Structure 1
Amino acid sequence: MMETQRLVIRPPELRDFDDLYSMWSDPQVVQFVTGAPLTREEVWTRLLRSIGHWAALGFGHWIVSEKSNAAFVGEVGFVQHRRGISPAFDASPEIGWMIAQRAQRFGYASEAIAAALNWAHTRWPGAETVCIISPENAASMKVANRFDYRPDHETTYKNKVVSVCRRAPGHAG
């Protein structure tokens, strides 16, 4: 578990399902990621995959909540999905974040990402990290840029164009 000034960041648990479903089924939240709201089954599978990431690899997505009232904010973390994107980046930790609509525009994504990157710097010192973002997702591209993620190339993932952004080794959060 990690804490920031305003946030608690912890590994996911089954009790997080309803909050995750609310976020991942919101068309405005997922428009640039999945393109369509996820079903209950898809969110359940995502949650189990995230818990499995922690069990198998010792890292994954964290659940982010407000410290003051425990309200759900979203998720942030690192994954290794072996996406089959070419050129491959499977050896690099891939960061991702998703913030519930009601929690957007408060700087929570940046606060959670900074904590996650500090954690990653101690776990993988000097490692490059990557993220994939829809080029149309200006808000996420702005956040990624704030943390020195730079577009490296565009490719196709699940029939959608994505920008593969890289963060040079050696950065702390």
Structure 2
Amino acid sequence: MPTPASAPTLTTARLTLTGHAATDLEDCAAMWTDPRVYTMIGGQPRPREDVWIRLLRSIGQWTLFGYGSWIARDTATGALIGELGLIEARRAIEPSIDAAPEMGWTLTGAAQGQGYASEALAAILAWTDARIPATTCIIDPTNAPSIRLAERLGYRLRTTGTYRDAPILIFDRRARAAEPAAIAAR
């Protein structure tokens, strides 16, 4: 089992990515009530209580697994951009995706379509590729922007599965050799 860790801070040209903190609750709770956010991720707004549990899970994953997810904020303004990174969700998906950590990304409605997800995930994958041999992700079959993003990042469709009685696309990605990246980890 990995040594307990906390999220490293990653930076990109426009973003600062940090581990979750209790102070992120209100911004995250607001994000999860926006239909532009939840429509393709469960189809329902998330109650503040569920967002709090999600935040705690994100913190705990770093302790248990040595990896997890990040809060992305605009470096200049401090505005929440989204939550991105690795999760150990242990979802009841057929077929199982438990062989590799799951990569996920959720952006605020205002941040969508501006290249933030690509920018943040490039930094996260540079960090991840040095530590984890493979990741997987799941995407709603109607979420064309996320499918395109996953494919640009090197994810390849493995199969269509079932999650909560609905079809879900399952993608896999092997770690890439270290490449010079425009990120810094502090």
User: What is the Cα deviation at residue 169 of structure 1?
Assistant: 4.0
Distance 1:76 1:123 in 2: 17
Unaligned 5+ segments in structure 2 are: 1-8, 180-186
Q: How many residues align?
A: 171
Task: Give the superposed CA RMSD.
Answer: 1.4
2:136 equivalent to 1:130: yes
What whole-Å deviation, never above 9, does each CA across 1:18-37 have from its counterpart, x for those lacking one? 11111111122110111111
In structure 2, the CA distance between the partners of 1:38 and 1:150, relative to structure 1 (3 Å rule), is same
SS of residue in 1 equivalent to 2:93 = coil
2:81 equivalent to 1:73: yes
Q: Which has the higher contact order (CA 8 A, sep 6+)?
A: 2
Q: 2:163 aligns with which of 157, 167, 172?
A: 157
2:124 equivalent to 1:119: no
Q: TM-score, normalised by structure 1?
A: 0.93
Q: 1:63 aligns with which of 64, 67, 71?
A: 71
- Summarize the alignment of residues 87-126 of structure 1 with structure 2, pairs less than 5 Å apart: 87-124=95-132
**Letter of the aligned partner of 1:146 in structure 2?**
R
Distance 2:98 2:149 in 1: 22
Q: In the alignment, is the contact (CA less than 8 A) between 1:131 and 1:166 conserved in 2? A: yes
In structure 2, the CA distance between the partners of 1:29 and 1:172, relative to structure 1 (3 Å rule), is farther
**Letter of the aligned partner of 1:94 in structure 2?**
E
SS of residue in 2 equivalent to 1:90 = coil
Distance 2:39 2:153 in 1: 23
* Corresponding residue of 2:182: none
User: What is the Cα deviation at residue 11 of structure 1?
Assistant: 0.4
SS of residue in 2 equivalent to 1:5 = coil
**Letter of the aligned partner of 1:158 in structure 2?**
R
Unaligned 5+ segments in structure 1 are: none
Q: In the alignment, is the contact (CA less than 8 A) between 1:9 and 1:63 conserved in 2? A: yes
SS of residue in 2 equivalent to 1:33 = coil
* Corresponding residue of 2:60: 52
Q: 1:2 aligns with which of 1, 10, 18?
A: 10
What whole-Å deviation, never above 9, does each CA across 1:91-128 have from its counterpart, x for those lacking one? 2121000000111111000000000100001112xx12
* Corresponding residue of 2:173: 167
What whole-Å deviation, never above 9, does each CA across 1:5-27 have from its counterpart, x for those lacking one? 11000100010001111111112
* Corresponding residue of 2:23: 15
SS of residue in 1 equivalent to 2:20 = coil
